[in-house]
Amino acid sequence: MRQPSVLLIFFFLLLHCSSTPIVELEKSDDSKETGETGKWATAQEINDRLGRGINIGNTFEALQAWQSPFVSGDLKRIADLGFTHVRIPIRWERDDRSMASSPYTIYPDFLAKIKSVVDEALKQKLHIILNMHHHDALYANPAAGKDRFLSQWEQIADYFKAYPDSLLFEILNEPHDQLTSVLWNNYAKEALQRIRETNPKRCVLLGTAEWGGVGGLRSLEIPDDPQLILTLHYYNPFHFTHQGASWSEGSEAWLGTKWQDTDFERQAVADDFKAAVRLANEKNIPIHVGEFGAYSRADMDSRVKWTRFLARWFEQQQFSWAYWEWNSGFGIYDPRIGQYQQRLVDALIKDPMPQQKNR
């Protein structure tokens, strides 16, 4: 082997020592450098890093009448349990948070509040998904609400453009009502274009029309963008997961519905996701299950069985997931007494997949 000259070695050392080190924002250990000249992780890599998550529900997406307070210490609790990301549902359209008419400004104090949540999540080595949740005016009258919707995404994207790739955006939660699948395909593409003006490489989550479920896949048009993750919500069987829920008409009659983890019930889940699995393979797009959960009025044995099976099955499909939710009607933590629903925590984080039953 030919030996390098002394001059060549000196030149290499001089070049190496004079390079300016990259200073990163505080973030999760697996996050990649995301500056102008740094490397961003792929959508699949980020979806792998998302892993197991939980929604901070009934908080920033709630109306003032039923809003739970945000407690920053909860993010440490969530990280200590073994979760690796949080989804932060946000109702940006509230009158105390943004203007309802042009220029549709999101108030600086509210942006600063969300920034503090993001910063604390990063401090706890959690990935974060910020979404747009309960945009009721847009659902009811898409044409009238479109400019505000797009303007808000311009503002959110610009405000957080310097953050690492462990921060993700989700365009809209559960499009429905007058925001039809045809309109949603167009609005989602336009919102993505606005985001890409300031965040060309950030991972963005795209959901389906018709309430965000697997049924909306048949009409979803996926933009040609390598940094997309498909997000789906799953609450089947609905009569089980929403029994006794006051906002679901007729749900009192569903009380007593059980989920017993039979082969038939497991197959129903697999059948529901067939189109999603096929699409993920065809389009090479990762899948995140952004919501799944069973309401507290279902019996605990059934809730544990359903939650455990879905969490493990999603992982077998290489889906990331976020349980609905942290500390309210579906929650795993009771803030009044400072205690966990330990069986649900274990179902999500610790329990292995049970053996199948032949019934």
Query: pLDDT tens, 141-173?
Result: 999 999 999 999 999 999 999 999 999 999 999
pLDDT tens profile 191-233: 999 999 999 999 999 999 999 999 999 999 999 999 999 999 9
- Rounded Cα distance between 341 and 303, Å, is 11
Across 61-70, 125-134, 268-277, least confident range: 61-70
Of these residues, 61, 93, 265, 291, which one is catalytic?
291
Of these residues, 174, 210, 265, 325, which one is catalytic?
174
Say yes or no to pLDDT of 38 above 90: no
Query: Is there a catalytic annotation at residue 265?
Result: no
Percent of the chain beyond pLDDT 90? 87
Would you say residue 90 lies in a domain?
Answer: yes
Q: Which domain holds residue 318?
A: 41-349
What CATH number is associated with residue 297?
A: 3.20.20.80
Would you say residue 13 lies in a domain?
Answer: no
Please, which pLDDT band fits residue 6 given cuts at 50, 70 and 90?
very low
Helix, strand, or coil (residue 288): strand
pLDDT tens profile 90-119: 999 999 999 999 999 999 999 999 999 999
Would you say residue 335 lies in a domain?
Answer: yes
Alpha-carbon Rg for the chain in angstroms: 22
pTM score, two decimals?
Answer: 0.89
- Rounded Cα distance between 217 and 225, Å, is 17
Answer whether 93's CB lies under 8 Å from 148's CB.
yes
* pLDDT score of 356: 79
Strands (E), the chain: 52-55, 85-88, 127-131, 167-170, 204-206, 228-234, 287-292, 320-323, 333-334, 339-340
Would you say residue 198 lies in a domain?
Answer: yes
Helix (H) or strand (E) segment spanning residue 192: helix 181-198
Instruction: Please give the tally of structural domains in the chain.
Output: 1
Would you say residue 357 lies in a domain?
Answer: no
- Rounded Cα distance between 109 and 258, Å, is 45
Would you say residue 284 lies in a domain?
Answer: yes
Would you say residue 83 lies in a domain?
Answer: yes
Pairing of strands 52-55, 85-88: parallel
pLDDT tens profile 233-249: 999 999 999 999 999 99
- Rounded Cα distance between 303 and 294, Å, is 6
- Rounded Cα distance between 309 and 328, Å, is 22
338: left (phi > 0), else alpha (psi -120 to 50), else beta? left
Backbone phi and psi for residue 105, each to the nearest 5 degrees, phi listed first? -60, 130
Would you say residue 200 lies in a domain?
Answer: yes
Query: Is there a catalytic annotation at residue 282?
Result: no
* pLDDT score of 352: 98
Cross-strand partners of 287: 230
- Rounded Cα distance between 342 and 329, Å, is 15
